Amino acid sequence: MEKRILSIIIAIVVVVVLVFSIYQFSGESISAIGHPKGCIDSDGGLNYTVKGTTNYVNRNTEYTDECLGIRELKEYYCLSDAKLDSKKYICTNGCEAGVCLK
The per-residue pLDDT for range 2-47, each reduced to its tens digit, is 877 777 777 777 766 655 555 444 443 334 333 455 888 999 999 9
- Considering the domain boundaries, does residue 9 fall inside one? no
Q: Which domain holds residue 76?
A: 31-100
Higher pLDDT, 99 or 60: 99
The answer as to whether 21 is a domain residue is no
What's this model's pTM, rounded to 2 decimal places? Answer: 0.62
In a domain, 14, yes or no: no
Q: Report the pLDDT value the prediction gives residue 29, as an integer from 0 to 100.
A: 38
pLDDT-derived band at 63, boundaries 50, 70, 90: very high
Q: What are phi and psi of 51, to 5 degrees?
A: -75, 125
Determine, yes or no, domain membership for 2.
Answer: no
Q: In angstroms, rounded to a whole number, what is the distance separating the alpha carbons of residues 72 and 65? A: 11
